[in-house]
Amino acid sequence: MRLALHWQIFWGMLAGAILGVTLNLTASSRSVRIVDGLPGGLSVAEIDDTSGRAEIRLFRDGVLEESFVVDPADVKDGAFRSVDELRRQSPVAAEIYSQHGGSVALWTGAWLKRVGSLFLRMLQMVAVPLIITSLGAGILGLGDRAGVGGMFTRTLAYYAITSFLAILTGLLAVNVIRPGLRGAGAIGMGAAAGGVAVAPLQGQSPGLGTILFEQLEALIPSNPVAALAEPNFLSIIAFTIAIAIFALRIGGDTARRLQIAAQTGCDVMMAMTTAIIKLAPLGVFFLMAYVTATQGVNVFKSLAWYVVAVAVALAFHACVTLPLILRFVAKVNPREFARAMSPALLMAFSSASSNGTLPLTMSNVEKRAGISKRTGSFVLPLGATVNMDGTALYEVVAVLFIAQLHNGANLPLSAQVIVAITALLASVGAAGIPHAGLVMMVIILQAVGLPIEMQAIILAVDRVLDMARTAVNVWSDSCGCAVVERLSPPAELD
């Protein structure tokens, strides 16, 4: 008998957490901070211990010159680094470590992270081709129907407005509930990338106008190939959309051939992603062990609050925002509409796949909710890829939660704006298959300089949140049909 994937992930998480917590309990609580490369060949090492005091050692060219004990509150510079990082970066640190005895948990943690990161690398590997092919196939699949300008514009406007409202709800929830600040406080994951790259964001805090203009610039990649290599998510999506739109404008064989190519690529990338996701239980095992070995059990406290934050925000969007739009814009009774769509919503919830649910969504919309075939077949297929309110909301909450955990504080507004914009695009680029949101999140984390290993923490609860956000995705697509139907002149619906 084979366990369902989400159970495998659950057991992987549990086993990893048990291993990690055990290692953590055996750990020495000593930590080392190093400031390297000071003028005159000087390096400073700060060694904390549980007594609340810190020892400072001064090295010149790697040779110990002086050592003294200080109050740790006086030491502000220097970033904590995990032991493997220390070995690579500083022989001085390695020397201190050998004198003081390295912590088993940190050393093992470094290897657990390395092995677990193989899984994350696979997610990174598929992210860009998956976005390009799934988005390309989605838009090109509209074919001639894109010529129906009015319906196209209304549909896109609906997608944009509801995704924006979903993101706003997510931002609000994560800033009010502050799930990442309720547990252990700041978690220095030992990844230099995080500390270094986030710091400038907080430090400089460029104005909102500058940030928005930078995003606008990213929409026009001066070198699309460089954008691919970087990868610059925003540029890639913008360029993909441009190619698809212009192929549709040329039409005929050109559009058809490109559509077949995109669809073929999309099928292959979806198959590859699904296979990679099957490795999630192993990935979760190693990454969870790493996180708990280096951070201890406190991580779980925050995790519960994180689930609450995502759930509350999703519930608000699905039960308040979208029903209000249904009632006042589409002039439809939300309760009855939800009842008509219930088979598709339940299917979305249990399969965690908008694409998998699409046939049922289309049939429910037409046969049970009385929407015209024209609207359903226009709004739903594109919506399954492009309009993911639940995913957008989830990305915002998840990334800001990780930032809270990592920095011990909320991201400044300017960085939150970047997260919101990238999350919107992540939801557009995400394929409608289980866990696709996770693949996209790697890119948002990179965009704001957070260490991707921290995804391990939320991986453990991703399946249940995926089910909920997929149901919201499908619910929003369905509501979109009602709205577009109401706003379209009857002639367009024939």
Contact positions vs ligand ASP (CB under 6 A): 352-354, 388, 391, 430, 432-437, 466, 469-470, 473
What is the token pair recorded at 36? 């390297």
Q: What is the DSSP track for 230-298? A: TT-HHHHHHHHHHHHHHHHHH-HHHHHHHHHHHHHHHHHHHHHHHHHHTTHHHHHHHHHHHHHHHH-TH
Q: Say if residues 160 and 382 touch (Cβ distance below 8 Å).
A: no
AA identity, residue 109: G
In the bound state with ligand ASP, the residue whose beta carbon lies nearer, of 299 and 352, is: 352
- C-alpha–C-alpha distance, residues 337 and 333, integer Å: 6
AA identity, residue 471: A
Q: Say if residues 106 and 292 touch (Cβ distance below 8 Å).
A: no
In the bound state with ligand ASP, the residue whose beta carbon lies nearer, of 81 and 469, is: 469
In the bound state with ligand ASP, the residue whose beta carbon lies nearer, of 218 and 430, is: 430
Collapsed DSSP state (helix, strand, coil) of residue 148: coil
In the bound state with ligand ASP, the residue whose beta carbon lies nearer, of 223 and 350, is: 350
Phi-psi region of 415 (alpha: psi -120 to 50; beta: other; left: phi over 0): alpha
Q: Say if residues 70 and 77 touch (Cβ distance below 8 Å).
A: no
What is the token pair recorded at 329? 């814009």
In the bound state with ligand ASP, the residue whose beta carbon lies nearer, of 259 and 354, is: 354
In the bound state with ligand ASP, the residue whose beta carbon lies nearer, of 43 and 473, is: 473
- C-alpha–C-alpha distance, residues 55 and 67, integer Å: 7
In the bound state with ligand ASP, the residue whose beta carbon lies nearer, of 81 and 463, is: 463
In the bound state with ligand ASP, the residue whose beta carbon lies nearer, of 281 and 434, is: 434
**How far does CA 19 lie from the centroid of its chain?**
26
Q: What is the DSSP track for 420-437? A: HHHHHHHHHH--SSTTHH
Q: What is the b/e burial string over 405-437, where b = at least 16 CB atoms within 10 angstroms of the residue's CB? A: bbbeebbbebbbbbbbbbbbbbbbbbbbbbbbb
Q: Say if residues 467 and 214 touch (Cβ distance below 8 Å).
A: no
Q: In the beta sheet, which residues pair with residue 64?
A: 59
Collapsed DSSP state (helix, strand, coil) of residue 309: helix
In the bound state with ligand ASP, the residue whose beta carbon lies nearer, of 258 and 433, is: 433
Which residues, at least 6 apart from 64, have a Cβ–Cβ distance to it below 8 Å? 57, 58
- Between 208-218 and 413-429, two packed helices, what is the crossing angle to 10 degrees? 30
Using Cβ positions, the residue closest to ligand ASP within the complex turns out to be 437
In the bound state with ligand ASP, the residue whose beta carbon lies nearer, of 247 and 270, is: 270
DSSP 68: E
